[in-house]
Homo-oligomer: A and B are copies of this chain.
Amino acid sequence: MRNYKLTIEYDGSDFYGWQVQPGRRTVQGELYRALEEFGPDAVKVVGAGRTDAGVHASGQVASVKADLELDCVTMRKALNAKLPKDIMIRNAEQVPLSFNARFDAKRRTYQYIFIMRKSALWRRYFLSVPDSLDVDRMHRALLDLPGERDFSSFASAGDDCSSKRCNLMRADLIENKPLLIFEVTADHFLYNMVRAMAGTLLDIGRGREIDLDGIVRARDRSLAGSTLPPYALYLIDVCY
């Protein structure tokens, strides 16, 4: 039995998210299918982030336990040969059997990417925002966000974490015209948390008077902005 740590990129457009679901095309499901071709041995795939339908990743991490004797380079190449084109293994390394991609993750980083004009292009990858945004104001507002706090105000119904406390380490805004990138790092995220934060940030950029710190303190989802669509969200990094 070996344990492999895989770093994975995928285009979420044509997946029902990460997690295996019967009868639906998922990233984890395609990984299981590709791994099965190596032989009938028991395999277990654990992902660091259970991304939703439509969400992309350039740095998802999975741990794969399998009765295989492949070295890491062979593992990566053989998997890439078997996987569909919208999934790619960027790196494979062997790790101790105790390593678990989900529970051992120290922090995850997501990006939510806006395109700051009306757009017919790249509609499945960036959220088009035709309004002119007050980017300085968005920058200032984000200073209030980090900390180890209860983020219930940004969690959708359906979140199954027992605690709503997250350690949000960094929230930043990167301008790369015509793109505007909201980048956020935390030990873990609640269900739809990044998309709700991005929606609230957008309201701030549009001039709404919003006190992010107050919203967090209130622990009331109705005070935050709307949950933005999944297709502009990217899981870009997981650290251990």
Name which residue of chain B comes closest to A58, CB basis: B121
CA distance A83 to B11 in the complex (A): 27
A68 CB, min distance to chain B CBs, angstroms: 23
| Inter-chain contacts of A118 with B (CB < 8 A) | 88, 90
Q: Tell me whether B176 and A123 are in contact (CB under 8 A).
A: no
Selected from B86, B119, B176, the residue in CB contact (under 8 A) with A120 is B86
Interface of chain A, helix or strand or loop or mixed?
Answer: loop
- State which residues 163-197 of A face B: CB under 8 Å: 176
Chain A contact patch, size range = 10 to 19
CA distance A123 to B87 in the complex (A): 11
Which residues of A line the B interface, CB within 8 A? 9-11, 56, 58, 85-88, 90, 118-123, 125, 176
CA distance A190 to B125 in the complex (A): 32
The 5 nearest A-B residue pairs measured at CB: A88-B120, A9-B120, A11-B121, A10-B120, A86-B120
CA distance A58 to B120 in the complex (A): 8
Selected from B86, B120, B122, the residue in CB contact (under 8 A) with A125 is B122
A6 CB, min distance to chain B CBs, angstroms: 13
CA distance A56 to B122 in the complex (A): 10
